[in-house]
Structure 1
Amino acid sequence: MIKKILILAIMIVTAAGSFAQNQSSADLKKKQAEIQKEIDALRQQLDETKKYKRQSLSQLNLVQKKLRLREAQIRNINDQINLIQTNINASWRDIVKLRSELDTLKLQYEKSVVYAYKNRSNYDFLNFIFSAGSFNDALKRMSYLKSYRAYREQQATNIMNTQVQLEQKIASLNQNKAQKSQVLQEQNKQFKVLADEKKEKDAVVNKIKSQEKELLKDMAAKRKQDNALKNSIRAAIRREVEAEKRRVAAIEKERKRKEDEARKADAAIAKKATENNAAAGKPAAPVASKPVEKPAAEPAKPLGLFDSREEVKLVSDNFEKNKGNLPWPVNAGRISMKFGRNKYEGLAIDYDNEGITIEAEANSTIKAVFDGEVSAVFSIGPVQAIIIKHGKYFTIYSNLSSVSVSKGQQVKAGQSLGRLDEKDAGRGELEFQITNEKNVYLNPETWLR
């Protein structure tokens, strides 16, 4: 029974170490699968860009992103190789240690067997016991003999357990070696693919270089359009802030008017009471101050409900609370220019983007990402733009060919705002921005789900 328990304990410890190793390996493989899935999606998007009339910075963006993902894939594989090699080294150390322990155990067991053989006679054991000087000494000698017998059994059990551990470590070592061989093959494959993708990127760069003047012209036009859009946004936000100030001032003015009217009414009542008392020959009654009316206690609300004031507050704050969970303003598309500084390797082109540029099919439906009020609808050259207010935040949708909402209109999340204009061969570019009442532009990617 003791032998079975010891073997089981050894197997549990070994399995625990193996589980930790497998868990780390599983995490790396899961990450590798996620990267590969994203690479496959990028490859599909690149195939779609081939139908356009000319090479674009969007295509170069996709190629560069695919290269970064491929390099991340290779780093992930290197991590797997390092993990496997660490496990191999640990297995070798354990094997050497176990073999040394096994040799020692066998040597000790051999000595005990030889000793037992030389003293195998029952007479010797009885003589050893009965030669004791006292009864207690005889009991101690019997206990010693039992302990010695248990020691020999324990030696045999230790040898068996060590052999089991050694066999498991050798099997694990062989498995890790085979796994390392497979991962190395995958690494070599990824290096070859990376080399091909670098050639693909160089080819795209060379083609775009032939259109560099035209692209620089497009960038200049985009900067001009962005400046006009920024001025319109600033003016719209200023109008909203001023309107809010006027609204608050009007509310305060109305409050003061009502307070003045209440004071005048109280004074008139007090004066009339004094005049009536004087005519009747009664002393003037002291004017009692009007007790302050306490609002009636509100009944306890069932859990999950809220009153209209809380609802209004939540609507004004809810946009911020939904950061990272807002829907995309178009059903299908891809980010062709990210938020912030955009640099293009091999080209003398860079651009600071106030939002994100989403490339999608021309005439795609553009939708509101959250409930709000249309703050402004205006034209920027041949295209149109919409600003929607969400409390202290604003979302901007530009490069629309048509608009289906008007200023002051309340809109719901997912409601159609208009259609995307065509830029080149059936594709359009939505300029989507998020800003606040202080004209600070925010990265839309961190807000969209």
Structure 2
Amino acid sequence: MLQSTKKDVKSQLDNLALLTGQIEERRKYINTIESDVHTLTSEIASLQKQLNKLQRDLKDKKRKYETSVQYMYRNKSVQEKLMFIFSAENLSQTYRRMRYVQEYANFQRLQGMEIERKQKQIAAKKREVEQTKHAKQNLLKQGEVEKAKLEIQEKERQTLLADLQKKQKGIQSEIRKKKRSAEQLNAQIDRLIEIEIEKARKRAEEEARRKAAAEAAAKAAAAKKAERETTGGASRSKSTEKNESTKKVAPVEKFSLNNEDRQLSGSFERNRGILPVPITGPYVIVSHYGQYAVDGLRNVKLDNKGIDIKGKPGAQARAVFNGEVSAIFQYNGLNNILVRHGNYISVYCNLSSVSVSKGSKVNTRTVLGTIHTDSSGNTVLHFQLRKETAKLNPELWLGR
């Protein structure tokens, strides 16, 4: 009976986390819809202004065209046009009157074409306004549907919370169990990251040592060449040897990163906020980073060093950036992977199988392994992000 109650509490807490995550995502989606509706409303107002201006322009051009047509009607006969041309006082005036008659005819033709063009512009703008209004109506309907779904989910959550409130003992027991498990997992991750940091320090020291040796050799060669070209080489040679001897025993400057690591770290930092989500397929974040109280449950606080992402059964973990697999270890019969990106490390936990090996070079979105699906059908990836030993909030780095 006790085992059944514990299992029931665990299942209910899992369902609560899933519902809470779905509600958060749906609220974000509704906010996005409302923002899009606001944008479309502004766009419709702008399009309507443009349409009104086009209609005013068309009205003005029609008025001018009507005036010119009336004038031409009054002077429509060929005889009147010829009389106007030949009644000129001289040849120059005759030529100018001929040009005037031609240009006026062209002006009328162009006015007609401009009116036709404006009418087409107005028709196109009206279609654009209608399409935008239609898009707005669709978004409003979609928003209402999402709000209805949200209301149902919130009712489900409240019912679940009311039931869980009666099982405080079981909840606290489950929370303590999860906390112990998380602490043991994090202790292993911390230990492996310390090893990685030490390796990086040694690589940097070795690179600095090689660089210092190369510089010393180059200076020694330059000094010997200078001695051969000048007198008093012997005394200078002793002085040079003494200086070189002093340089050899000087302590090597320590770097936390070598050049390759430094470049990779810089590249990783520039991708903050746009890294891909480390899971394939549809997903929902069911547990956030840091310490926080569970809304609706008394005395229930969670402390997550990363985030928990629930996907569909069969979902795979994927690398968030180029790097190298620095460690693969098992905990509770499941696989966990550390990928180093310079002095940044991403951690992927709860994998049933792995597709890479230690030392493998990976690219952004390289599949690392398949995420474990438990007996309740939960497929949850635990994901962490570190900068050396400092724990980071992964949600600030992922592009969603």
Q: With structure 1 as the length reference, what TM-score do the two structures score? A: 0.56
The one-letter code of the counterpart of 2:142 is Q
| Counterpart Cα distance in 1 of 2:140 and 2:204 | 68
Q: Map Cα deviations across residues 173-214 of structure 1 (whole Å, 9 max, x no partner).
A: 542454355335424422431332222222232233133556
Q: Name the structure 2 match of 1:24.
A: none
Which residue of 89, 94, 105 corresponds with 1:142?
94
Q: Map Cα deviations across residues 78-125 of structure 1 (whole Å, 9 max, x no partner).
A: 433442343233222221232123213322442354357698174564
Q: Name the structure 2 match of 1:75.
A: 35
Q: Name the structure 2 match of 1:334.
A: 283
Alignment of 1:7-46 (within 5 A): none
What's the CA shift for 1:317?
A: 4.6
Alignment of 1:281-320 (within 5 A): 289=237, 313-314=259-260, 317-318=263-264
Alignment of 1:376-387 (within 5 A): 377=329, 379=331, 387=338
Which residue of 131, 135, 147 corresponds with 1:179?
131
What's the CA shift for 1:364?
A: 7.5
RMSD: 5.0
The one-letter code of the counterpart of 1:152 is Y
Is 1:189 the counterpart of 2:138? The answer is no
Do 1:358 and 1:430's aligned partners in 2 also have CA atoms closer than 8 Å?
A: yes
| Counterpart Cα distance in 2 of 1:254 and 1:97 | 77
Q: Map Cα deviations across residues 364-415 of structure 1 (whole Å, 9 max, x no partner).
A: 87677742332x8475x88775555554333334446799999xx5445468
Tell me the percent identity: 15
| Counterpart Cα distance in 1 of 2:294 and 2:41 | 31
Q: Name the structure 2 match of 1:165.
A: 117
SS in 2 for 1:371: strand
Distance 1:143 1:378, change over 3 A: same
| Counterpart Cα distance in 2 of 1:286 and 1:84 | 90
Alignment of 1:203-222 (within 5 A): 203-209=155-161, 210-211=163-164, 213=168, 218-219=174-175, 221-222=177-178
SS in 1 for 2:80: coil
Which residue of 102, 109, 123 corresponds with 2:62?
102
The one-letter code of the counterpart of 1:65 is E
SS in 2 for 1:110: helix
| Counterpart Cα distance in 2 of 1:121 and 1:416 | 88
- Who wins on radius of gyration, i.e. which is larger? 1
Q: Name the structure 1 match of 2:23.
A: 63
Is 1:426 the counterpart of 2:377? The answer is yes
Q: Which moved more, 1:421-430 or 1:200-209?
A: 421-430
The one-letter code of the counterpart of 1:203 is K
Q: Name the structure 1 match of 2:394.
A: 443
SS in 2 for 1:347: coil
Q: Name the structure 1 match of 2:105.
A: 153
Alignment of 1:83-98 (within 5 A): 83-98=43-58
The one-letter code of the counterpart of 1:92 is N
What's the CA shift for 1:327?
A: 8.1
The one-letter code of the counterpart of 2:24 is Q
| Counterpart Cα distance in 2 of 1:177 and 1:405 | 54
Distance 1:401 1:158, change over 3 A: closer
Aligned length, in residue pairs: 339
Do 1:60 and 1:204's aligned partners in 2 also have CA atoms closer than 8 Å?
A: no
Gaps of 5+ in 1: 1-51, 133-137, 258-284, 293-311
The one-letter code of the counterpart of 1:433 is Q
Distance 1:289 1:353, change over 3 A: same
Q: Map Cα deviations across residues 131-153 of structure 1 (whole Å, 9 max, x no partner).
A: x3xxxxx1331133123203421
| Counterpart Cα distance in 2 of 1:241 and 1:170 | 67
Is 1:356 the counterpart of 2:319? The answer is no
Gaps of 5+ in 2: 1-10, 214-232, 242-257
Distance 1:83 1:170, change over 3 A: same
Q: Name the structure 2 match of 1:371.
A: 324
What's the CA shift for 1:171?
A: 2.3
Q: Name the structure 2 match of 1:200.
A: 152
What's the CA shift for 1:56?
A: 3.0
Alignment of 1:262-281 (within 5 A): none
| Counterpart Cα distance in 2 of 1:251 and 1:241 | 15
Do 2:21 and 2:284's aligned partners in 1 also have CA atoms closer than 8 Å?
A: no
